[in-house]
Amino acid sequence: MSHAERYALTFPGTPGTQAPQDVVVVTRTDATGPGGHPVYEDESGIVRAEISDAGEVRILASGGHQSPHLPVHAHPLP
């Protein structure tokens, strides 16, 4: 199975509120993550994720003092 060039990552809203989910579009980079899968990042470079061909997502820290939330869903984009 080939990897998509872009994914929409959906993150939960703020716990305990009625906040909507956040959606971040990430694009494939030339990097490979610790699991050997492609690394994707958003335009700002802040959201970085390793995504397997099975759609499993591992959020990667892009700076110090981050505690990244796990996305609810990774949807491949055309």
Is the model more confident about 45 or about 16? 45
Chain position carrying tokens 């060039």:
5
The pTM (predicted TM-score) of the whole model is: 0.82
How far lies 37's CA from each of 3, 14, 24, 44, in Å? 9, 29, 19, 21
- For the chain, list the strands marked E by DSSP: 6-11, 22-32, 38-41, 48-51, 57-60, 73-77
pLDDT at 1 over 60: no
- How far CA 42 is from CA of 1, 53, 71, in Å, comes to 23, 19, 14
**Band of pLDDT at residue 78, cut at 50, 70 and 90:** confident
**What pLDDT was estimated at residue 35?**
95
Residue 69: band (very low, low, confident or very high) from pLDDT cuts 50, 70, 90: low
Residue 37 has pLDDT above 70, yes or no: yes
